[in-house]
Amino acid sequence: MASLLPKKELYGFLVLALILVVVLPLSLDIFRLNLVGKYLTYAFVAVGLVLCWGYGGILSLGQGVFFGLGGYIMAMFLKLEASDPESTKIQSTPGIPDFMDWNQITELPFFWQPFYSFTFTLIALIIVPTIIAYIVGVAMFKRRVGGVYFAIITQAIAAILTILIIGQQGYTGGVNGMTDLRTLHGWDIRTDNAKYIFYFLCVFMLFVCLLIAQFIRKSKLGRLLVAMRDKEDRVRFSGYDVSNFKIFVFCIGAIFAAIGGAMFTLQVGFMSPTLVGIVPSIEMVIFCAVGGRLSIIGAVYGALVVNFAKTSFSESFPELWLFAMGGLFIAVVMAFPNGLAGLYNTYAAPKVDAFFAKLFSKNTTDNSAPPITPATKPVTKTESTSLPQGALHEPQ
């Protein structure tokens, strides 16, 4: 345990847990807490990018693809549950999603059928993004495509998926996405009680992903990822198949993003192609960069800080937010490339460590020094041990 979570990193996990589990639920109303839960769904993507980009040197500008896949897979199950024959009896074809009825589709497509099962949905939530990430990884990394070329290709994949979702309106809901998601196994997910439960479920799943990422960082694989990032040819000449490691970490990032997308659908109640394309994918990279691309804890704070700023700033200046986001990314790259985590480690961490070291050393000194009593009072150099004058003379 000590090797997986050294003392300083353990304190970082505990502080984050205290903030997310205690401070925020006690200090925010349900509307704001639900917003924080929405922000935390982006943190899943940011943590995956720390492994891919920060440690593996793989800059993916298409993580919105996997976020959207996870969200749409969960939305398909919820939409089918909301489209029972009783609820859709006013449609031309009851028992199918409303957007299919609007597009004159009279029968549920075959690839929608398995999503009646919640178990299948959970399995598909992991398998489908993994398969797509594996295919992309094999196609790119086996041919030693990396760097800016890989970033551009992933960006193109995000654009393609967005166009595909919008174009196939009868099967995906089109530009409006999948809306009116109401129940999960008959349980209303729109109530305040459900929002509290989904928030804590999101926090729990986030910490599971953080622990997995921490295990990868501290393992031999983590050291190999850093070596690949810095000297890829040297790792290859040492006998390692670099492409397999890249494919693996890219798939892990895809799984994290898909889990975040599914949690987004559960907490917000819809899924749309605006969360899949190029712009949201670049924003997700900014979350990671602001928090610190070498810190999994920093990635969570980065997602929270940037999204809070986005919500606050866009309420007052909605037209200027994209310019502010671009300026923030430039500032991070030029001024503090290691993000908030780098600023903390450079300026705040030495002072915090010195404070606690001083505090603990003071407590140790106070507890170890025995109290001085008259019977055990030590003799110092300034005290005289001679007898008073005349003390040895006998009295007259």
Cα torsion angle, 353, 356, 361, 364, sign: negative
* Residues whose CB falls within 8 Å of the CB of residue 393, separated by 6 or more in sequence, listed in order: none
Q: d(Cα 179, Cα 175) in Å, to the nearest integer? A: 11
| pLDDT value for 44 | 97
Mean pLDDT of the chain: 88
- pLDDT higher than 80, residue 368: no
Q: Is 381 helix (H, G, I), strand (E, B) or coil?
A: coil
The 10s digit of each residue's pLDDT in 133-160 is 999 999 999 999 988 999 999 999 999 9
| pLDDT value for 365 | 61
- pLDDT higher than 90, residue 213: yes
How many percent of the chain have pLDDT more than 90? Answer: 67
CB 75 within 8 A of CB 270: yes
Q: d(Cα 329, Cα 273) in Å, to the nearest integer? A: 24
What is the average pLDDT across 25-41? Answer: 95
> Which backbone phi and psi does 367 adopt, to 5 degrees?
-80, -25
| pLDDT value for 153 | 95
What is the H or E stretch that residue 175 is in?
Answer: none
| pLDDT value for 234 | 92
| pLDDT value for 394 | 44
- pLDDT higher than 60, residue 396: no
| pLDDT value for 370 | 57
- pLDDT higher than 90, residue 342: no
Q: Which of 270, 206, 265 is nearest to 44 (CA)?
A: 206
If you ran DSSP here, which 8-state letter would residue 228 be given?
H
| pLDDT value for 395 | 43
Lowest mean pLDDT among 22-31, 284-293, 306-315: 306-315
What is the average pLDDT across 297-325? Answer: 85
| pLDDT value for 208 | 97
Using alpha carbons, list the distances in angstroms from residue 334 to 50, 193, 289, 301, 330.
Answer: 19, 44, 11, 20, 6
What is the average pLDDT across 70-89? Answer: 92
The 10s digit of each residue's pLDDT in 254-305 is 999 999 999 999 999 999 999 998 989 999 999 999 999 999 999 999 999 9
| pLDDT value for 256 | 97
- Count the neighbouring beta carbons within 10 Å of the beta carbon of residue 284: 29
pLDDT band, very low/low/confident/very high, at 359 (cuts 50, 70, 90): confident
| pLDDT value for 367 | 60
CB 299 within 8 A of CB 291: yes
Q: Which of 296, 341, 279, 266 is nearest to 46 (CA)?
A: 296
